Structure 1
Amino acid sequence: MPMLIQNSSLTAEMVGKGFTVDLNKPLVFQVGHLGESYQEWVHTPILTEESPRFFESDFLEIFTRTVWWVVPLIWVPVALYFIRMSYTMGLTLALVVMLSVLGAFVWTFLEYCFHRFLFHIDTKSYWGNTFHYLIHGCHHKHPMDGLRLVIPPVEAAILALMFWYLYGILFTLSTRPVMFGGGLIGYVIYDMVHYYVHHGQPTKQSLKSLKKYHLNHHFRIQNKGFGITTALWDRVFGTLPKTKAADKRG
């Protein structure tokens, strides 16, 4: 289990290759200097809800913080627009509903792949560390930072555009919009579930289990448990973490 740091008033936290990270200064262009020590540093969580500063520039800083409700506010109407587009192009209502569900299911696979193969890349170069910190490392370092948990709209729009063009290759003219819209619904569910398992207090057993499953990824076995909305793909690809009971038996 990684060491936890709860005192956010520290001014300097760790030295890597002679470099000290100053937590009271913008972090993004510091972390690259940690070199090979970056992975240990970024996986040593600070358990406060404070939102550290990323950039000196106030303009750039704006784009790094997002309140959770912005995600459904922006992307649900966009998703419904594309789903309706396929209906107006002649697909039956039943087929539109089925393909919307399929699109959301495809997203669960994409979420797993992103988390496992991109968000958890092993970096040690200056720009590699900097890139990793921006896309996911910051979340592992400050897992309770509620303003840097959901994907910022600008970043999400870039990814959405990429998938829109990819879906143009994979699907027909009429099925492309509904698969894309269903995927957006899946993405919204992903970001809302992710926010909830960090900041919510679930009462239903299913949500309690999901919260435990994800926090286990943060604080116990960080190279397993890559699913957010479902553990299905971890089961399929053998990255489902063992329970503590199983660890003791082993």
Structure 2
Amino acid sequence: MVAQEFTVDLDKPLVFQVGHLGEAYEEWVHQPIVSREGPRFFESDFMESLTRTVWWAIPSIWLPVICYFVLKSVRMGHTLSEVALIVVGGVFIWTLLEYTLHRFLFHIKTKSYWGNTMHYLLHGCHHKHPMDGLRLVFPPAATAILLVPFWNMVKLFSTPSTTPALFGGGLLGYVIYDCTHYYLHHGQPANDVPKNLKKYHMNHHFRVQDKGFGITSSLWDRVFGTLPPSKVAKKI
């Protein structure tokens, strides 16, 4: 007897449904629904509110935090030029972290109930509903939790006086990433550089979803051989 395939009801909260898709989840989540109207995730209004974030909350919340950490390194004896270089180093470290997380965590393959559910919350929802403007940036509460291990990681390979600026640079890289990501989905770039970046990211969503993991640049895709092909054969 063949088990009946599970069908997701898009008119009901999705989070606790998608786990039932099992092995079919991978195909389902990579068939995008292009609509600015985001789906409901939870029955609870409180839980639902935690999944929605306006893009401008990211720079509003985190830029003052970045300034605090950068100035901390200045107060510990570093010159402004030294701190500037350290911050740039932090941004560079973020670009590698951005690529790594997107490739190996956000695109991890799952088929168990809780695996599918957690993946959908983390990144699958973005591929299913790529134009949902309130779920394009990471909720600040979740970011705050993840900053703790990031701080501890930075401390491992930096000195006490450089750690704050390096951490601030990494956090700045994250802010640039999240704002860029929102713009690539909802902005209308007029210049070639952002136009090409938007095309690159839309290609990841709608043509070759297992390539092109860079958001702010294609640097690490070039380094690690995950550039999408220039032309993709049409499916017959």
| 1:190-231, Cα deviation, whole Å (9 max, x unpaired) | 001100010000000000000000000000000000000010
2:115 maps to what in 1? 128
Distance between the aligned counterparts of 2:97 and 2:122, measured in 1? 16
Kindly tell me: are residues 59 and 40 of structure 1, through their superposed partners in 2, closer, same or farther at Cα, counting changes over 3 Å? same
Equivalent positions of 1:179-218 (< 5 A) are 179-218=166-205
Unaligned runs of 5+ in 1: 1-15
Is residue 73 from structure 1 mapped to residue 91 from structure 2 by the alignment?
no
Distance between the aligned counterparts of 2:51 and 2:157, measured in 1? 32
Distance between the aligned counterparts of 2:4 and 2:70, measured in 1? 52
Calculate the TM-score normalised by the size of structure 2.
Answer: 0.96
Distance between the aligned counterparts of 2:155 and 2:93, measured in 1? 15
Equivalent positions of 1:137-176 (< 5 A) are 137-176=124-163
Q: Give the superposed CA RMSD.
A: 1.3
- Paired letter, 1:221: V
Deviation at 1:18, TM superposition (A): 2.7
Is residue 237 from structure 1 mapped to residue 216 from structure 2 by the alignment?
no
| 1:37-90, Cα deviation, whole Å (9 max, x unpaired) | 000100000000011110111111111000000000001110111011001001
| 1:151-200, Cα deviation, whole Å (9 max, x unpaired) | 00011111112101221222110111000000111001000110001000
Instruction: Verify the 8 A CA contact 1:46 1:142 in the aligned structure 2.
Output: yes
Instruction: Verify the 8 A CA contact 1:17 1:34 in the aligned structure 2.
Output: no
Unaligned runs of 5+ in 2: none
Kindly tell me: are residues 17 and 211 of structure 1, through their superposed partners in 2, closer, same or farther at Cα, counting changes over 3 Å? farther
User: Segments of 4+ in structure 1 off by > 2 A?
Assistant: none
- Paired letter, 2:143: A
2:89 maps to what in 1? 102
Instruction: Verify the 8 A CA contact 1:112 1:233 in the aligned structure 2.
Output: yes
- Paired letter, 1:215: M
Instruction: Verify the 8 A CA contact 1:87 1:96 in the aligned structure 2.
Output: yes
Instruction: Verify the 8 A CA contact 1:17 1:37 in the aligned structure 2.
Output: no
Calculate the TM-score normalised by the size of structure 1.
Answer: 0.91
1:226 maps to what in 2? 213
1:5 maps to what in 2? none
| 1:102-140, Cα deviation, whole Å (9 max, x unpaired) | 101110000000000000000000000001000000000
- Paired letter, 1:184: L
Deviation at 1:247, TM superposition (A): 6.0
Distance between the aligned counterparts of 2:5 and 2:210, measured in 1? 28
| 1:8-36, Cα deviation, whole Å (9 max, x unpaired) | xxxxxxxx953210101110000000000
Distance between the aligned counterparts of 1:247 and 1:181, measured in 2? 43
More RCO (CA 8 Å, sep 6+): 2
Distance between the aligned counterparts of 1:68 and 1:30, measured in 2? 27
Is residue 58 from structure 1 mapped to residue 65 from structure 2 by the alignment?
no
Would you say how many aligned residue pairs link Structure 1 and Structure 2?
232
Equivalent positions of 1:26-37 (< 5 A) are 26-37=13-24
